[in-house]
Amino acid sequence: MCGVVGIAGHGPVNQMLYDALTMLQHRGQDAAGIVTCQDNRLFLRKENGMVRDVFMNQHMLRLVGNQGIGHVRYPTAGTSSSAEAQPFYVNSPYGITLAHNGNLTNAEAIANSLFREDMRHINTDSDSEVLLNVLAHEMQKIGKQHPEPCDIFSAVTKVYQRIEGAYAVVAMITGYGILAFRDPNGIRPLIYGQRLAEDGGFEYMVASESVALTAAGFSIVRDVKPGEAIFINQNNELFTHQCIESNDFTPCIFEYVYFARPDSIMDNISVYKARMRMGETLAQKILSEWGENHAIDVVIPIPDTSRTAAMELAQQLGVKYREGFMKNRYIGRTFIMPGQQQRKKSVRQKLSAVPLEFKNKNVLLVDDSIVRGTTCNEIIQMARDAGAKNVFFASAAPPVKFPNVYGIDMPAKSELIASGHSVEEVRQIIGADRLIFQDLNDLIEAVSDTKYSSVKQFDCSVFDGKYIAGGIDENYLNALQKKRSDMAKLKKAGVQIIADTPVDMVGVEPEVL
């Protein structure tokens, strides 16, 4: 998962872009990048690492201009090389930079056609570079030195006709403005807002999550609609256009389970309230299957995402809620660390148990989901080492049985612990005394139970194997597993040395048609 942001301001946007990326840091900790524009020149900084490590004072001083885009990344398609940090840049036509969250399911076929038919070279394995070149090619075909918003929307319509999968995109066309668009199913989130500048005009921001906007003082206008594009020109005039008819509106339900910040609102659904309702429905299932005499003494969340659901679950059960694990804030999130061996190594560095909350108690540990199950066994053992009498385990999400193809780093089916294993077998593998999962219907009800959103369906492909976009079949999934397993990533990372350096681009002039 990645985070994107674009800002059209009335003054320098470098600090606002930096602050927005820190608010989106949870969406990707592998790399970060910002590009700005001033006097038709581009200023770019991108590198592997956290936002705070990539941008030093000297870099921020060079990021001049009133418009810009930013990106935080972890590797989904491609590798962890800094050469694949975003935004990407192409000089012709106009000079276009682009940042992307999601995954193009037909990226390989498009890359081949770009080379054979459009004569465009793709230098990395990133589908974002493919997407940028598709956009550049369609903009080139317009053949105008000074494109109007309608011309840009026409090019985006052509892009929609060529690409498949899930995507939320921000781009900057040098000298013209900021462009953003969202996939026809609305799988990946994108929202925009505005605020009044000191000179009386409006400034605009578009981002992956609402928290990036509200933290900067922008008021939310609305979510970008599926199949819609928005464009803010150099005069900060906003234009919107429905480029392609939207398909079934099906946002990714895993955003609400895990990825999004709890204080975000996505498609008019509060992530915090959705997670509270997940706790309620899970509590009802525990009472139904384990009975009133469930023997749970205390409910303890596994930090951080499961905290909201665990708190509500404890209240519904009428048992104590306690913070039994302390988190080291300076260790990267385990789920998005590239490489299984690193993931295993980090658990005890990242969490430590508070023995007082475990000793001689029947403990119910609550996590947002169980994906690979890599950390569960060790966390359960930590609870036992801290003195727990029995360790029960509850997942606020259903069993993850299928690979994700829309931008979440869990592609290999063989790495998913619930794939091919029953609940009892999973319980034995992770070493819990009891194990319970949320039902999918209950999860959908928990997320959609609001009067403020029109969303009634979700992409639940990791739970039910139903892929709503991209023409996914068994051959595609097998090829994806082979290409993107952890071992394949580690093997490739061992030889990825070309262009693995920071990227700073200052004052680059685009090619003029």
User: By the 8 A CB rule, do 255 and 266 touch?
Assistant: yes
Sheet holding 96-104, edge to edge: 88-90, 96-104, 165-173, 177-182, 228-233, 238-242
Contact in structure between 120 and 134 (CB atoms under 8 Å): no
CB 231 within 8 A of CB 224: no
Indicate the angle between helix axes 474-484 and 486-493, nearest 10 degrees. 40
Is 2 one of the catalytic residues?
Answer: yes
**Of residues 87, 89, 34, the one with CA closest to residue 65:** 34
Distance CA 189, CA 451 (A): 19
The continuous run of DSSP H or E covering 315 comes out as helix 307-317
- In 10 A of CB 323, how many CB atoms? 13
End-to-end CA distance of the chain: 35
- Report the C-alpha dihedral over residues 240, 243, 244, 247, rounded to 10 degrees: -30
118 marked as part of a ligand binding site: no
Q: Quick check: 131 and 152 in contact, CB under 8 A?
A: no
Pick the closest to residue 308 from 243, 268, 345, 256 (CA basis): 256
124 assigned ligand-binding residue: no
Confirm if 48 and 274 have CB atoms less than 8 A apart.
no
- In sequence order, the 6+-apart residues with CB closer than 8 A to the CB of 256 are 266, 269, 271, 274, 275, 447
In DSSP notation, 149-166 reads HHHHHHHHHHHHHH--EE
Distance CA 287, CA 289 (A): 6
Please identify which of the residues 2, 37, 243, 252 carries the catalytic annotation: 2
Cβ–Cβ under 8 Å, residues 31 and 54: yes
8 A C-beta contact, residue 372 and residue 340: yes
Does residue 281 have a known ligand-binding role? no
Candidates 270, 350, 351, 281; CA nearest to 312 is 281
Residues belonging to the binding site for Mg(2+) are: 305, 367-368
Known binding positions: 305, 367-368
Give catalytic residues, as residue numbers: 2
